[in-house]
Amino acid sequence: PDSPAGSTWMPVYVHSKIMIIDDVFLTHGSANVNRRSMQVDSELNICHERMDVTQPLRRHLWNIHTKGLQNAVSDVADDAAQGWENIITRNASNQKNGLAPFASLIGFMWNGASRLRLD
């Protein structure tokens, strides 16, 4: 939501990764989730299995990225998915109309058969 109304939306690349599984397991750091990154490259992650830390963090992150829309931060996956879809739809409309993003979630889809390394 850092793109002001009337300006081109600027995507932001964040290198840090967080993976949360079942609100219990958490890993956070620079490593990708693959053998090379976890065992060979010079990457650093922390991980733990503490629901009392992981679940509040997941809720906090979802709250940030959804601006706290009630169902978008729900612990019920179907409700959260619908909330995210509502935000994505709203942001698509905002972008089309030159308005600022409502929240950080935007839709993306690649239907092409080829991939390019343009990043």
DSSP string, 77-97: HHHHHHHHHHHHHHHHHHHHT
Average pLDDT for the chain: 89
pLDDT, tens only, 31-49: 888 888 878 888 888 999 9
Listed by start position, the domains of the chain span 17-96
DSSP bridge pairs for 26? 20, 48
What average pLDDT does range 7-29 have in this prediction? 87
Structure-token match 């890993």, residue found: 27
Determine the Cα–Cα distance for residues 88 and 35; give it in Å rounded to an integer: 33
pLDDT, tens only, 64-80: 999 998 889 999 999 99
pLDDT of 119: 53
